């Protein structure tokens, strides 16, 4: 990791990473015969095609799913390790592959179906022909009005509307690198990402619906532009789509000469056609920012050829997408799942991808099932948080609707076996195969999953490694944890794969130090065997080879599948003048998996008041967004610290979660621990917030939180 290992951690503590995690072995569920009969991968021979002796050429089969202007001559170039290059010499265009090439046989088939949140508004189906027209017109506008060219970065801060994939594909057509920031992030958070990526154009929308309200989203633009300016980045143009073209739905004024309505500009580009740019396979396609151990977000840079091949291949074999399927992934396109498995993978395969604007349970928990019936959705993709929520608010709803899923995905967080079973039995009606896909923003596509037509499912385990992925579990010293031993350690991927990100935008050293340095013994080596990829997750492997992911081993809190860095949360809290120190920790939450609790201590002379608490909460919402809003803010007399002054987050995490604080004798101020525990736990008891007994995996995460 980039952070130095704390020298106050005695040998006992660091070796604790190697804990045995015991859980009840779950029984297997075979894939339904009806699924297997039509699966893209039902013949186990595919496993033999991806064994290590066939690596890396095995991945040519994924690249062959695409149309190339120029074939590649080298599948994998490792000469600048660990900056891998895939399909070197090849040239292609992602927009061409997701749009143009489908015109021959699918011109009038729906590429996208958009479900607006208000049920009074009609669905919008966009055929491949229409997508082609709109992508071309927007590409012409980006090139001729906004002045964007190959290699430029542009920041998108768009909600879940079809204009978002249209803009992404228009950028891809030109070789412009898009950086979409989740619409739920604040203007300030968008501004940091604008500055980091060096974008001078921001593309946004005036408003969108969320839980029945038409939100003013344009209000975030001024904050974003201002935050970027503070970091030295000027935004020249803000392109504003309107939720209702011709009618402005936001209250915030447009800035003359900077802000433009896209629907007005597009009138000049009617019927425009833009030739897709032939790009080298390693040309960056997009940046996707994610959180890590330090405050500065990481712009994960994904390639055109490797990434698109990987998402096309995994969409085919793991999502089992056939062109005639109607595929609905409820993730947000503002996250990697949406990029890979709403936009690029499904469209590369020419299927119909459904986009939903709003919240799953609006206006009632039957909403997804009504839509599934209306649209004939047969592949469904969501997160454990949504499943837990739908189970809580509408456990009997799915049975009332006559939809039939052949395939379902869970992604983003560990899923509890009982939640998995409800997904299988109630949402899937026992007819759908489930894939529990483990992967990350950095990895572009799936790393661990069952092959749905071949492997049996096991609730709570993602399954074996994906095709061509060779994981290993290592202990802190780099020794291999025996395979199939059920012992926990750090899961790493031994080999490069086409979907892996190319670098962190503008931070190549951080790319190497965060993901590769930990287990690399020879920084000069150009042999990929010397560069295991450190995923930052704890995992165990059972005797059957299936992996169970335990969660992050770094300072990242996974709230409802959204990665939040403790440093980002803490920096936001520290902007409040009264706050001296801040520490963010995870608390187990029955719906969202984890929630954030924030601990702050105040500068001398300030009293702990509800006002200060409110300021901290507001600062976090302003700097990051509502998703980061802490469940509780605790103003404490002092933070538990090591003798070198490091805040012991695991100790306060234990207070929040009612777990054992562990050994505190090495602390500089052990006496404060009991005070904090009393304060936090007595308040929680009074509020009825005492958590249920934690599972082994939850306990393991809390116990180790922040110990890297």
CA distance 89 to 676: 60
C-beta of residue 360 within 8 angstroms of C-beta of residue 386 = yes
Is residue 460 near ligand WTA by the rule CB under 6 A? no
Kindly tell me which of 558 and 566 has the beta carbon lying closer to ligand WTA.
558
Q: Does 191 sit near ligand WTA (CB under 6 A)?
A: no
When binding is defined by CB under 6 A, the residue of 368, 412, 489, 498 that contacts ligand WTA is 412
Q: Binding to ligand WTA by residue 175, rule CB under 6 A?
A: no
Shortest Å distance, C-beta 599 to ligand WTA: 23
Tokens, residue 616: 């901290």
**One-character DSSP codes across 505-555:** TT-HHHHHHHHTGGG-S-TT---GGG--EEEEEEEEE-TTS-EEEEEESSS
Residue 382 is a binding residue for ligand WTA (CB under 6 A): no
Asked if 563 is part of the footprint of ligand WTA (rule: CB under 6 A), the reply reads yes
Tell whether residue 558 is a contact of ligand WTA (CB under 6 A). yes
If one asks whether residue 329 binds ligand WTA (CB under 6 A), the answer comes out as no
Phi, psi at 340, each rounded to 5°: -80, -40
Which of 94/419 has CB closer to ligand WTA?
419
Is residue 554 involved in binding ligand WTA (CB under 6 A)? no
Q: Under the criterion CB under 6 A, does residue 568 sit at the interface with ligand WTA?
A: no
DSSP assignment string, 56-72: TGGGHHHHTTS--SB--
Question: What is the CA 583 to chain-centroid distance, rounded?
Answer: 23
> Residue 615 interacts with ligand WTA (CB under 6 A)?
no
Which of 85, 157, 381, 552 is the binder for ligand WTA (CB under 6 A)?
A: 552
Q: Return d(Cα 322, Cα 94) in angstroms, integer.
A: 19
Tokens 């010397």 locate to 530
In order, the DSSP letters of 124-145 are: EEEEHHHHHHHHHHHHHHHHHT
Name the β-bridge partners of 472: 492
The site map against ligand WTA for 143-172 (x = CB under 6 A) is ------------------------------
Residue 116 or 460 with smaller CB distance to ligand WTA: 460
* DSSP-derived 3-state class of residue 203: strand
Residue number of the CB closest to ligand WTA reads 441
238, 205 Cβ separation under 8 angstroms: no
Binders of ligand WTA in range 668-697 (CB under 6 A): none
Residues 135, 93: contact at Cβ < 8 Å? no
Is residue 131 involved in binding ligand WTA (CB under 6 A)?
A: no
Task: List the one residue out of 647, 664, 626 whose CA is nearest residue 182.
Answer: 626
| Closer Cβ to ligand WTA, 205 or 288, answer by number | 288
From residue 466 to residue 485, the character string flagging contacts with ligand WTA as x (rule: CB under 6 A) and all else as - is --------------------
319 sits near ligand WTA (criterion: CB under 6 A): no
Q: Which is nearer to ligand WTA, 350 or 444 (CB)?
A: 444
Site for ligand WTA contains 438 (CB under 6 A): yes
Residue 330's beta-bridge partner residues?
none
Q: Which is nearer to ligand WTA, 441 or 507 (CB)?
A: 441
> At 572, which helix (H) or strand (E)?
helix 566-574
Is residue 348 within 8 Å of residue 314, measured between CB atoms? Answer: no
Which is nearer to ligand WTA, 128 or 307 (by Cβ)? 307
Return the SS3 of 155: strand
What is the rounded distance in angstroms from the CA atom of residue 326 to the CA atom of residue 691? Answer: 40
Least separation in angstroms between CB 441 and ligand WTA:
3
Q: What are the residues facing 565 on neighbouring strands?
A: 556
Cβ distance 484 to 545 under 8 Å?
yes
Q: Is 445 in the site for ligand WTA (CB under 6 A)?
A: no
Give the nearer residue to ligand WTA in terms of CB position, either 187 or 586.
586
Q: Which is nearer to ligand WTA, 377 or 435 (CB)?
A: 435
Q: How far is the CB of 549 from ligand WTA (least distance, A)?
A: 4
Residues that bind ligand WTA (CB under 6 A): 290, 335-337, 411-414, 436-441, 462, 536-537, 549, 551-552, 558, 563
């Amino acid at each position: 990791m980039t952070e130095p290992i704390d020298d106050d951690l005695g040998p006992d503590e660091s070796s604790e990473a190697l804990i045995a995690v015991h859980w009840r072995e779950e029984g297997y569920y075979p894939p339904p015969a009806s699924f297997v009969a039509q699966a893209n991968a039902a013949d186990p021979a595919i496993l033999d095609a991806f064994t290590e002796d066939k690596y890396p050429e095995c991945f040519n089969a994924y690249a062959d799913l695409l149309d190339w202007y120029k074939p590649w001559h080298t599948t994998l170039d490792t000469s600048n390790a660990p900056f891998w290059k895939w399909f070197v010499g090849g040239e292609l265009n992602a927009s061409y592959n997701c749009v143009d090439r489908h015109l021959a046989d699918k011109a009038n088939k729906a590429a996208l179906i958009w479900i607006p949140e208000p049920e009074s508004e009609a669905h919008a189906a966009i055929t491949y022909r229409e997508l082609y027209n709109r992508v071309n017109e927007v590409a012409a506008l980006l090139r001729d009005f906004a002045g964007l060219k190959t290699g430029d970065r542009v920041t998108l801060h768009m909600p879940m509307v079809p204009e978002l994939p249209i803009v992404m594909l228009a950028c891809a057509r030109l070789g412009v690198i898009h950086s979409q920031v989740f619409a739920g992030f604040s203007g300030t958070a968008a501004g940091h990402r604008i500055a980091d990526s060096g974008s001078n154009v921001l593309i946004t929308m005036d408003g969108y619906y969320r839980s029945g309200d038409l939100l003013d989203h344009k209000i975030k633009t001024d904050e974003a532009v201002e935050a970027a300016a503070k970091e030295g980045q000027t935004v020249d143009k803000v392109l504003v789509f309107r939720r209702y073209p011709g009618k402005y739905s936001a209250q915030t004024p447009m800035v003359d000469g900077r802000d433009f309505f896209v629907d007005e500009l597009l009138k000049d580009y009617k019927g425009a056609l833009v030739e897709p740019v032939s790009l080298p396979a390693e040309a960056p396609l997009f940046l996707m920012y994610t959180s890590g151990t330090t405050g500065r977000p990481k712009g994960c840079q994904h390639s055109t050829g490797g990434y698109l091949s990987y998402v096309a291949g995994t969409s085919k074999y793991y999502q089992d997408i056939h062109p005639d399927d109607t595929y609905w992934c409820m993730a947000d396109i503002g996250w990697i799942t949406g990029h890979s498995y709403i936009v690029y993978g499904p469209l590369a395969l020419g299927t119909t991808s459904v986009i939903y604007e709003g919240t799953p349970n609006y206006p009632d928990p039957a909403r997804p099932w009504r839509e599934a019936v209306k649209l004939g959705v047969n592949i469904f993709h969501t997160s454990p948080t949504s499943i837990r929520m739908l189970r809580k608010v509408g456990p009997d709803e799915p049975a009332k609707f006559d939809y039939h899923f052949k395939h379902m995905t869970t992604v983003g967080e560990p899923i509890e076996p009982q939640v998995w079973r409800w997904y299988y039995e109630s949402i899937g009606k026992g007819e759908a195969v489930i894939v529990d896909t483990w992967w990350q923003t950095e990895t572009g596509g799936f790393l661990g999953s069952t092959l749905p037509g071949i492997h049996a499912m096991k609730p709570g385990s993602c399954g074996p490694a994906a095709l061509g992925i060779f994981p290993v579990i290592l202990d802190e010293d780099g020794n291999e944890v025996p395979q199939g031993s059920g012992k926990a350690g750090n899961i790493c991927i031994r080999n490069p794969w086409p979907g892996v990100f190319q670098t962190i935008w503008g931070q190549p050293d951080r790319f190497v130090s965060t993901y590769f340095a930990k287990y690399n013994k020879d920084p000069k080596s150009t042999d990929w065997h010397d560069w295991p990829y450190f995923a930052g997750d704890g995992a165990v492997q059972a005797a059957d080879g299936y992996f169970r992911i335990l969660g992050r081993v770094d300072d990242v809190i996974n709230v409802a599948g959204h990665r939040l860095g403790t440093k980002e949360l803490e920096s936001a809290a520290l902007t409040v003048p009264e706050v001296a120190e801040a520490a963010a920790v995870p608390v187990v939450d029955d719906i969202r998996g984890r929630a954030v609790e924030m601990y702050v201590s105040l500068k001398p002379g300030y009293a702990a008041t509800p006002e200060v608490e409110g300021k901290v909460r507001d600062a976090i919402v302003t700097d990051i967004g509502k998703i980061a809003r802490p469940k509780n803010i605790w103003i404490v007399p002092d933070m538990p610290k090591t003798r070198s002054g490091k805040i012991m987050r695991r100790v306060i995490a234990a207070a929040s979660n009612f777990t054992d604080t562990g050994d505190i004798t090495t602390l500089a101020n052990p006496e404060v621990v009991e005070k904090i525990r009393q304060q936090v736990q007595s308040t929680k008891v009074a509020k009825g917030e005492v958590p249920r007994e934690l599972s082994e995996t939850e306990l393991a995460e809390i116990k180790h939180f922040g110990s890297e």
